[in-house]
Structure 1
Amino acid sequence: MTRTPISGAPAGTKPELLLDLTLKDEAETRRLAEDIAMILHPGDCVLLSGDLGAGKSAFARAVLRTLADDPELEVPSPTFTLVQTYELARFPVSHLDLYRLEDEEELAELALDDLLEEGAALIEWPERAGGLLPANWLGLTIESGADPAARRVRLSAKGSDWPERLARTRLVRAFLEQHGKGTASRRYLQGDASPRGFETIRDAAGSLILMNAPPVPGGPMIRDGLTYREIVHLADGVRAVVAIGEELRRRGFHAPALHAVDLKAGLVLQEDLGADPVVRDGAPIAERYRAAVDLLADLHSTPPPRTFALPDGGAYQLPPYDPRALLVEAELFSDWFLPHVGAPVDDEGRALFAREWTRLFELAWQQPPTWVLRDFHSPNLIWREGASGHERIGLIDYQDAMYGPAGYDLASLAMDARVSVLPALEAELVARYIARRTLHDAGFDEAVFRRDYAILAAQRATKILGIFTRLAIRDGKPDYLAHLPRVHAYLYRALAHPVLSGMKEWFETYGALEKGIGGARDVAWPDEIA
Structure 2
Amino acid sequence: MAAKTLERFLPDEAATLRLGEDLAMALKAGDVLALRGDLGAGKSTLARALIRALADDAALDVPSPTFTLVQSYDTAPPVHHFDLYRLGDPSELDELGFEEAIDGGAALVEWPERAAGRLPATTLTIDLLHEGDGRTARLTGSDSVVERFARSLAMRDFLGRAGWGEASRRRFVGDASARSYEIVRLAGAPPRVLMNAPPLVLGPPVRGDKAYAEIAHTSRDIAAFVAVDKALAKAGVTVPEIYADDLGKGFALLEHLGSGSFLDAESRPMRERYAAAAELLAFMHAQRWSYDMEVRPGVRHVVPPFDRDAMMIEAELLVDWYVPAVTGAPAGEALRAAFRREWDALIDRLAGSETTLMLRDFHSPNIVWRGERAGLNRLGILDFQDALVGPPAYDVASLALDARVTVPEDIEQATLAAYIAARKEAGAFDEDHFREAYAIMAAQRNSKILGIFVRLDRRDGKPAYLKHLPRIRAYLRRAVAHPALAGLRAFYEEHGILEERVL
The two structures have a TM-score, normalised by structure 2, of 0.96
Equivalent in the alignment of 1:374: 360
Match of 2:223 in 1: 239
1:358 to 325, 333, 344: 344
The answer to whether the 8 A contact 2:259-2:368 is kept is yes
Q: Distance in 2 between matches of 1:166 and 1:514?
A: 44
| C-alpha distance in 2 between matches for 1:26 and 1:488 | 54
Alignment partner for residue 438 of structure 2, among 443, 453, 462?
453
Instruction: Tell me, yes or no, if the aligned pair for 1:343 and 1:511 is still in contact at 8 Å.
Output: no
Q: Classify the secondary structure of the residue corresponding to 2:420.
A: helix
Distance between the aligned counterparts of 1:22 and 1:419, measured in 2? 46
Structure 1, residues 117-153: CA drift from partner, whole Å, max 9, x if none?
2111100000111121111111112244544xx3332
Residue 277 of structure 1 corresponds to 261
Structure 1 residue 33 and structure 2 residue 20: aligned? yes
Aligned to 2:19, the other structure's residue is in SS state helix
Q: How many residues align?
A: 500
Identity, % of aligned pairs?
48
The CA RMSD over aligned residues, in Å, is: 1.6
* Shift, 1:14, TM fit: 8.6
Matches within 5 A, 1:489-500: 489-500=474-485
Is the partner of 1:161 in helix, strand or coil? Answer: helix
Q: Which amino acid aligns with 1:408?
A: Y
* Counterpart position of 2:147: 164
Select the residue among 33, 45, 63 that pairs with 1:58.
45
User: Which range moves more in the overlay, 161-170 or 468-477?
Assistant: 161-170
Whether the aligned pair in 1 keeps the contact of 2:3 and 2:143 (CA below 8 Å) is no
Secondary structure of 1:104 counterpart: coil
2:372 alignment partner in structure 1: 386
SS in 2 for 1:242: helix
Q: Write the letter of the residue equivalent to 2:43.
A: K
Within 2, Cα distance between the matches of 1:84 and 1:365?
A: 62
SS of corresponding position for 1:283: coil
Aligned ranges for residues 136-151 of structure 1 at < 5 Å?
Answer: 136-147=122-133, 150-151=134-135
In 2, distance between residues paired with 1:397 and 1:337? 26
Counterpart in 1 of 2:56?
Answer: 69
| TM-score, structure 1 normalization | 0.91
Contact 2:473 2:500 in 1 (8 A): no
Relative distance call for 1:76 and 1:265 in structure 2 (3 A) is: same
User: What amino acid sits opposite 1:291 in the alignment?
Assistant: A
How do residues 329-478 of structure 1 correspond to structure 2 at under 5 angstroms? 329-342=314-327, 344=329, 345-442=331-428, 444-478=429-463
Match of 1:481 in 2: 466
The question of whether the paired residues in 1 share the 8 Å contact of 2:454 and 2:466 is answered with yes
1:262 and 2:262 correspond:
no
Question: How big is the shift at 1:267?
Answer: 1.2
Per the TM alignment, residue 85 of structure 1 is displaced from its structure 2 partner at its CA by 1.6
Residue 271 of structure 2 contacts residue 414 of structure 2 at CA under 8 Å; is this kept in 1? no
* Alignment match, 2:210: 226
Give the conservation status (yes or no) of the 8 Å contact 1:213–1:236.
no
SS in 1 for 2:296: coil
- The separation in 1 between residues aligned to 2:297 and 2:53, in whole angstroms, is 34
**After the TM superposition, which residues 64-213 of structure 1 pair with which residues of structure 2 at under 5 Å, given as runs?**
64-88=51-75, 90-147=76-133, 150-157=134-141, 159=142, 161-204=144-187, 205-213=189-197
CA distance in 2, matches of 1:17, 1:91: 25
Moved more, 93-102 or 78-87: 78-87
Instruction: Indicate conservation of the 8 Å contact 1:98/1:126, yes or no.
Output: yes
Deviations 1:359-409 (A, max 9, x none): 111212321211211011000000112111110000011100101111110
Give 5+ residue unaligned stretches, structure 2. none
- Unaligned 5+ segments in structure 1 are 1-12, 519-530
Amino acid at match of 1:384: R
Q: Tell me the amino acid that sits aligned with residue 99 of structure 1.
A: Y
The whole-number CA distance in structure 1 between the counterparts of 2:110 and 2:13 is 19
Residue-by-residue CA offset, 1:7-27 (whole Å, 9 max, x unaligned): xxxxxx7954321x3322111
> Match of 2:217, SS?
coil
Inter-CA distance 517–361: structure 2 relative to 1 (3 Å threshold)? farther
- Give distance in 2, aligned partners of 1:178 and 1:215: 20
| 8 Å CA contact 2:224, 2:295 repeated in 1 | no
Shift of 1:116: 1.5
2:6 aligns to what? 18
Question: Is the Cα contact below 8 Å between 2:363 and 2:398 reproduced in 1?
Answer: yes
2:295 alignment counterpart: 310
Q: 1:294 aligns with which of 279, 282, 285?
A: 279
SS state at 2:418 partner? helix
Name the amino acid aligned to 1:190: V
Q: Distance in 2 between matches of 1:413 and 1:22?
A: 48
Alpha-carbon contact 1:365-1:404 (below 8 Å) kept: no
